Chains A and B, each alone.
Chain A
Amino acid sequence: MPKEPVAVVGIGQTKHVAARHDVSIAGLVREAALRALEDAELTWADIDAVVIGKAPDFFEGVMMPELYLADALGAVGKPMLRVHTAGSVGGSTALVAANLVAARVHRTVLTLAFEKQSESNAMWGLSLPVPFQQPLLAGAGGFFAPHVRAYMRRTGAPDTVGSLVAYKDRRNALKNPYAHLHEHDITLEKVQASPMLWDPIRYSETCPSSDGACAMVLTDRAGAERSPRPPAWVHGGAMRSEPTLFAGKDFVSPQAGKDCAADVYRQAGVTDPRREIDAVEMYVPFSWYEPMWLENLGFAEEGEGWKLTEAGVTELDGDLPVNPSGGVLSTNPIGASGMIRFAEAALQVRGQAGEHQVDGARRALGHAYGGGAQFFSMWLVGDRPPAG
């Protein structure tokens, strides 16, 4: 029997900010969950199971927080799963939830991811020294900067490309009411004049630390028929992982990312992603990852990604808009960031993205990665049910 088609019928986010002092962790997740239920015009009673994800428990200092959050998410008496795949977790969580529907184990599933980074300090949470392992130095930026440098050296990209991405994403964020950073006076010069943190990564080319949550309601074909607003349909979804450290690893364009994208395109029947995909929500925590992932995901030939960025192809009005929402560079509640990418892709094909809507978006890609660029999760959503 073929898989049950999976539809996204409800999406909810919090307004992402540096610190939500007005709510507990439970209050934060409940806000996103209630918005997703409201969007789907469903109640807690319609939900069969809850799948929750977040990045390390150390970020809030709560071990296995799903136990404490069961009540706030209406999960009492229901199955509740907790996914943790590092930075890709928001995407993986959505995929685990989608599989519950696809396998016909449950009909309607609430999935949610969150991070309340103000409860601690994520950079130092990631910087604990571990014997016999390569240190992350100062947070993720120290780990990723050498790989950006390697990309520049390999492709000959001019050192202006990173600031173009940051300038674009921060302008896009101004059109997204839920985005964390709303820099109304942003200019390209300001990005370029910002302090160098981890050469070649400047301050304005890095993501913020956000408090926030994102939730989605996933359902089967029958559930989609009752949906008050157009659903987004899952046409393909995959996860791929590779080891953190080994001699053959290409940190600039990891094989796991290429394989993951190829699997998603195969499932969705996409043969030319550059032409057949209308919008991309890509996990870009440091601006240079846009050109790098354009190549890794098959939107550009190797060495050519930066040319698409430089030519304006990835602008909101370009022919392959990347991160119309403002992306991770404007909003980064780490554990939720992947799910926000997946949810924003779904908003695009539902035609519900408001001011940052890409005209006529019919197929969109949501992308997330994590760990030492070793965990990947992606889904491709469309405005029509998948064939078959």
Chain B
Amino acid sequence: MTPDREVAIVAFAQTDHLRTTDEFSEVEMVMPVLHEVLRQTGLKTSDIGFTCSGSSDYLAGRAFSFTMALDGVGAWPPISESHVEMDGAWALYEAWVKLLTGEADTALVYAYGKSSPGSVRDVLTRQLDPYYLAPLWPDSVALAALQAQALIDAGHTDEPALATIATRSREDASANPHAQLPGARPQGEYIVGPLRTGDCPPVGDGAAAVILAVGDKARELCDRPAWIRGMDHRIEPHALGVRDLTDSPSTRLAAERAGAFERPVDTAELHAPFSSQEVVLRRALDLDDRVRVNPSGGALAANPMMAAGLVRLGEAAARIHRGASDRALAHATSGPCLQQNLVAVLEGENRA
């Protein structure tokens, strides 16, 4: 859909994504990125019209884990605030809707996740159907491997092509000071065939924050705002047996609703934690070799749970801020094998 009110991403910050952060609490991980986006815009917490965050109690290992992160925001005097138990990309979506209602002119969005205290492969099994699937503990890599094998069987890719995606992503990440796995590295052994170490994302901790603003406010806060031209998200059935794992109709529909196919994009930041998922997404989004895919290195170079989707939106916006992109697509995913997908189209105004 084309919104009535112009909304842009005007600032973005992320942590260095690390394998372990035993020395930081979640609050200590979030605070530097909050301070950084406020510094970029010159805004204070009390200037922000709406705040929304994304996180997961299951990663923290306790109920209401997000309540303490809120203390780090400095919510005093009280603020207008909400939280989604989803990737921060969906928190950004909720904030975007809030700005479209006219009830706020600026929004702060943040997301964080620490995967290091537990085994994320085991933890993610808990998001499966609790009666039929979760008791079998099928882990996230095994499920992604099913998808990868289905793609190979369908002739959409092969193992050398997956290795190329993995290599390209890590090489691109060399220019990203926040990446967890920068620089080329060997594909390694099979973790779950046909996926090798190189086809899988690193497990890590990290946080990200963005600031949104409307119209002239955005122009005031940022030299070249990344205007959100459209944004949509769609979900598919949960059970893997009723989905065609080689396709992503929800991504295609979300992209269509976001206006992604109206004109070509020059950049795409795709939330594809596994190399094979980039194959699925490229097909769903009709991306050809002219589009720069994941110049940040993508989720293969840094995949902080609950923040990785928001990082895609932030990286795409930052490229527009820098003048490296004029029209970018950003994508976020949730659930096993790309069950739920969000697509946003961001544009920079041509400077006179």
Tell whether, in the assembled complex, residue B63 and residue A56 are in contact, meaning their CB atoms are under 8 Å apart: yes
Interface size on B, as a range, is: 35 or more
B105 to chain A, nearest CB (A): 14
Instruction: Specify the chain A residue showing the minimal Cβ separation from B125.
Output: A63
A2-40: CB near B (< 8 Å → 1, else 0) gives 110000000000000000000011000000000000000
Q: Is residue B276 contacting chain A, with contact meaning CB distance below 8 A? A: no
Q: Which residues of A contact B124 (CB under 8 A)?
A: 63
How long is the Cα–Cα vector from A96 to B81 in the complex, in angstroms? 11
Q: Is residue A284 contacting chain B, with contact meaning CB distance below 8 A? A: no
Q: Is residue A41 contacting chain B, with contact meaning CB distance below 8 A? A: no
Q: Which residues of A contact B3 (CB under 8 A)?
A: 103, 105
Tell whether, in the assembled complex, residue B97 and residue A99 are in contact, meaning their CB atoms are under 8 Å apart: yes
Binds A, one of B69-77, B148-156, B261-269: B69-77
Q: Which residues of A contact B62 (CB under 8 A)?
A: 58, 128, 130
Binds A, one of B11-19, B83-91, B177-185, B288-296: B83-91
Cβ 8 A contact of B250, one of A77, A240, A245, A260 = A77
Q: Which residues of B contact A58 (CB under 8 A)?
A: 57-58, 62-63
How long is the Cα–Cα vector from A248 to B3 in the complex, in angstroms? 41
Kindly identify, within residues 285 to 344 of chain B, every residue whose CB is under 8 Å from any CB belonging to chain A: 334-336, 339-340
Q: Is residue A242 contacting chain B, with contact meaning CB distance below 8 A? A: yes
Tell whether, in the assembled complex, residue A82 and residue B238 are in contact, meaning their CB atoms are under 8 Å apart: no
Instruction: Specify the chain B residue showing the minimal Cβ separation from A240.
Output: B78
Cβ 8 A contact of B93, one of A1, A65, A81, A126 = A81
Kindly identify, within residues 229 to 245 of chain A, every residue whose CB is under 8 Å from any CB belonging to chain B: 238-245
Tell whether, in the assembled complex, residue B130 and residue A246 are in contact, meaning their CB atoms are under 8 Å apart: no
Q: Is residue A138 contacting chain B, with contact meaning CB distance below 8 A? A: no
Q: Is residue A102 contacting chain B, with contact meaning CB distance below 8 A? A: yes
Instruction: Specify the chain B residue showing the minimal Cβ separation from A87.
Output: B64
B306 to chain A, nearest CB (A): 10
Cβ 8 A contact of B76, one of A100, A104, A242 = A242
Cβ 8 A contact of B97, one of A62, A77, A105, A242 = A105
Kindly identify, within residues 65 to 82 of chain A, every residue whose CB is under 8 Å from any CB belonging to chain B: 65-71, 75-82
Instruction: Specify the chain A residue showing the minimal Cβ separation from B86.
Output: A82
Q: Is residue A255 contacting chain B, with contact meaning CB distance below 8 A? A: yes
Return the 10 tightest CB-CB contacts between A and B, nearest first. A56-B63, A256-B78, A103-B100, A84-B85, A241-B81, A63-B127, A63-B126, A63-B58, A242-B78, A67-B335
A70-B238, A128-B63 are contacts. A241–B79 as well, Cβ < 8 Å? yes
A61-B130, A242-B75 are contacts. A71–B237 as well, Cβ < 8 Å? yes
Instruction: Specify the chain A residue showing the minimal Cβ separation from B79.
Output: A241
Interface residues, chain A, CB within 8 Å of chain B? 1-3, 24-25, 55-71, 75-86, 92, 96, 99-100, 102-105, 125-126, 128, 130, 132-133, 238-246, 248, 254-256, 259-260, 263, 371-372, 374-375
Binds A, one of B30-38, B199-207, B228-236: B228-236
A56-B64, A85-B82, A240-B78 are contacts. A245–B100 as well, Cβ < 8 Å? no
Kindly identify, within residues 109 to 167 of chain B, every residue whose CB is under 8 Å from any CB belonging to chain A: 123-124, 126-131, 134
Tell whether, in the assembled complex, residue A239 and residue B81 are in contact, meaning their CB atoms are under 8 Å apart: yes
A8 to chain B, nearest CB (A): 17
Q: Is residue B66 contacting chain A, with contact meaning CB distance below 8 A? A: yes
A71-B237, A92-B82, A241-B75 are contacts. A86–B64 as well, Cβ < 8 Å? yes
B50 to chain A, nearest CB (A): 9
Q: Which residues of A contact B236 (CB under 8 A)?
A: 70, 76-77
How long is the Cα–Cα vector from A3 to B98 in the complex, in angstroms? 11
Q: Which residues of B contact A255 (CB under 8 A)?
A: 77-78
B74 to chain A, nearest CB (A): 8
How long is the Cα–Cα vector from A218 to B125 in the complex, in angstroms? 34
A70-B238, A243-B70 are contacts. A79–B130 as well, Cβ < 8 Å? no
Instruction: Specify the chain A residue showing the minimal Cβ separation from B85.
Output: A84
Q: Which residues of B contact A78 (CB under 8 A)?
A: 234-235
How long is the Cα–Cα vector from A242 to B94 in the complex, in angstroms? 19
Most buried by A among B64, B68, B234: B64
A139 to chain B, nearest CB (A): 11
A278 to chain B, nearest CB (A): 26
Kindly identify, within residues 218 to 246 of chain B, every residue whose CB is under 8 Å from any CB belonging to chain A: 232-239
Most buried by A among B66, B84, B239, B250: B84
A230 to chain B, nearest CB (A): 25
